[in-house]
Structure 1
Amino acid sequence: MKKNIAVIMGGHSSEHDISIKSGNVVHKYLDRKKYKSYRIVIEKEKWLYLDENDKEFPVDRSDFSISPNGVKIYFHCVFNAIHGTPGEDGLLQSYFELLGITQTSCEHYQAALTFNKRDLLSVLRPYGIRCATSYYLNKGDIVDKEAIIEKVGLPCFVKANKAGSSYGISKVYEKKDLDAAIDNAFSEDTEIIIESFLDGTEVSVGVITYKNQITVLPITEIVSENDFFDFEAKYEGKSQEITPARISKIQQENVSKLAKQIYRVLGLKGYSRSEFIFIGDEPHLLEVNTTPGLTEESILPQQAKVAGISLEELFGSAIEACIP
């Protein structure tokens, strides 16, 4: 019997449209011999099911069911393709856990932790995970630019603490530009993190549970045509994403071991994609994404392709890990 799979997409953040693209790709490539795929769009105003003609039907939030033909349809598994809130920060994970519906991404605590850059780094530092020097600000705090520069130096990165796809990030070279960068970060979140600039090769490492084994995918080297790997570089072709990365064997071993350690220490499941910058041979962690982009052009699917894993296999494996 085919399993009913709800592919959730959309969300409440600036990443809404990117998530819709990811969700549509998952829907397209799910094996129709095994699964009945249903596109579910989660928005602030409404939750809806889109049929193949894009006709809208409401979702019953009391039990997460749909009734497009007057007969209730329940789901065996939820495939989470929402980037940002409420799919990447633990809110929907908690909802599905309460309803007893399994879903493909990590659990609610891990999602909330990884989505909060400041908390994530604080948890991982005792395990010897290297990262940039950082300075924290909350909305309403007094901005002491001298103290910021004294701690992190220039240039530095000003980031929204809870945001993805490089929204709310600026690279700052001069003290006079800090105010604008801080305002930009606060446009995405009420908390920000300011980090020292790490000058080295940037890589992205995908770790997945594939056929019940924690698997590190081929590593991707990020070469941005812009000043850093910003939104334009990620989504508008202003970067090279080279898989496998042009790094030494010792660098490859170090970052693969570290990415797998992070996956295990945090108790993740499903997909993760961690970003690192090398200082010498030592990788320094930037962030961990637990619902990474899933379009054909996204980094994780690129890595899976190099590993010989098709999109059908990649997406199906996440579902099978939930409902073997």
Structure 2
Amino acid sequence: MKNVAIIMGGYSSEYQISLTSGNVVYSFLDKSKYNAYRIHIFRDKWVMVDDNNTEYSVNRHDFTVAYQGNTLSFDVVFNAIHGTPGEDGLMQAYFELLGIPQTSCDYYQAALTFNKRDLLSVLKPYGIKTATSYYLNLGDTIDTATIIKTVGLPCFVKPNKSGSSFGISKVKTEAELLPAIENAYKEDNEIIIESFLDGTEVSVGVINYKGEIKVLPITEIVSENDFFDYEAKYLGKSQEITPARIAPELTEKVNAVAKRAYEVLKMKGFSRSEFIIVNGEPHMLEMNTIPGLTTESILPQQAREAGISLPNLFDNAITLALK
């Protein structure tokens, strides 16, 4: 029996969602094949939490836990941390140094995809289309006229490195731009401002399943709010339609672009990319490498549609990591 550490929590605004994802992995993991342990990673403590909610401290030097008179070590790590330090390469690099396999992509890919500006810049030469964008770093002079001339109105102001739509605003007038920039700076010291793409929003899961790169059925996002924000994602203010209501040839085109991005970046594990289809062309917004894994999350919905149960999805991730 392999010992699996399911890491969850994290240091960002997304920690609550991560705890939910991690607990879903814990409950669906095949207990006849794996000894599963929940590890909470927070700024002030790293602890293993047992079924009675008793906490045992994690030794960060070798990622072991003193538990029931023994030293508990782990064969593999299931990474369920959204945001930093699980999705930005820090935990990946840590486990690589310790020689412990883990289920997500490698540290370079995690750092790259977590940085929206860098990700889109790397993918552009491969013919992957994106919105028109304008970059700001904290301390830069803010020239609202130039920004609007570059990206137009409405536009989106986003923190460069954050998830779950924290800090994102849709800006419709020049007067709304500065408050939106201040809001984004609460999450990150780098900002990306993007032109509004008027089209169909879709989310595309790509995984390595049994050694083959597999694009899962596409999900169409129909938000009741102005865009797919936190409320739309987690508080039911959106419809997520899987498979998406798009023509078969468009499905093929989106699948090809999503798969291309996964291959170009030499990805491993799960990925979920967001696209907006404008005039029959998919434009990439971002790629998530630790997508939500709750029973209602998009990637598990897509896996279900593809006939892959959650126990199989999680088992596959661990099997590939151990290889």
Superposition TM-score tier, normalisation by shorter sequence: over 0.9
Secondary structure at 2:71 match in 1: coil
Secondary structure at 1:18 match in 2: helix
Secondary structure at 1:295 match in 2: coil
For 1:30, the equivalent position in structure 2 comes to: 29
For 1:102, the equivalent position in structure 2 comes to: 101
The answer (yes or no) to whether the contact 1:49–1:66 under 8 Å persists in 2 is yes
Shift of 1:214: 0.6
Alignment of 1:66-215 (within 5 A): 66-215=65-214
Specify the code of the residue in structure 2 equivalent to 1:52: D
For 2:226, the equivalent position in structure 1 comes to: 227
For 1:53, the equivalent position in structure 2 comes to: 52
CA distance in 2 between counterparts of 1:256 and 1:76 reads 34
CA distance in 1 between counterparts of 2:136 and 2:219 reads 32
CA distance in 1 between counterparts of 2:125 and 2:47 reads 43
Specify the code of the residue in structure 2 equivalent to 1:181: A
Specify the code of the residue in structure 2 equivalent to 1:158: V
CA distance in 2 between counterparts of 1:212 and 1:87 reads 23
For 1:276, the equivalent position in structure 2 comes to: 275
Specify the code of the residue in structure 2 equivalent to 1:160: P
Specify the code of the residue in structure 2 equivalent to 1:193: I
The answer (yes or no) to whether the contact 1:222–1:242 under 8 Å persists in 2 is yes
Specify the code of the residue in structure 2 equivalent to 1:277: I
CA distance in 2 between counterparts of 1:204 and 1:98 reads 33
Secondary structure at 2:194 match in 1: strand
What per-residue deviation string (whole Å, max 9, x for no partner) do you get for residues 166-220 of structure 1?
0010000000000110001000000000000000000000000111111100000
Secondary structure at 2:70 match in 1: coil
For 1:40, the equivalent position in structure 2 comes to: 39
Shift of 1:322: 1.3
Shift of 1:95: 0.3
The number of equivalent residue pairs is: 323
CA distance in 2 between counterparts of 1:246 and 1:282 reads 15
Specify the code of the residue in structure 1 equivalent to 2:272: R
Shift of 1:70: 2.1
- Identity rate, percent: 66
Secondary structure at 1:297 match in 2: coil
- Normalising by structure 2, what TM-score? 0.99
Specify the code of the residue in structure 2 equivalent to 1:107: D
Secondary structure at 2:130 match in 1: coil
For 2:64, the equivalent position in structure 1 comes to: 65
Specify the code of the residue in structure 2 equivalent to 1:25: V
CA distance in 2 between counterparts of 1:68 and 1:277 reads 49
CA distance in 2 between counterparts of 1:18 and 1:180 reads 26
Shift of 1:280: 1.5
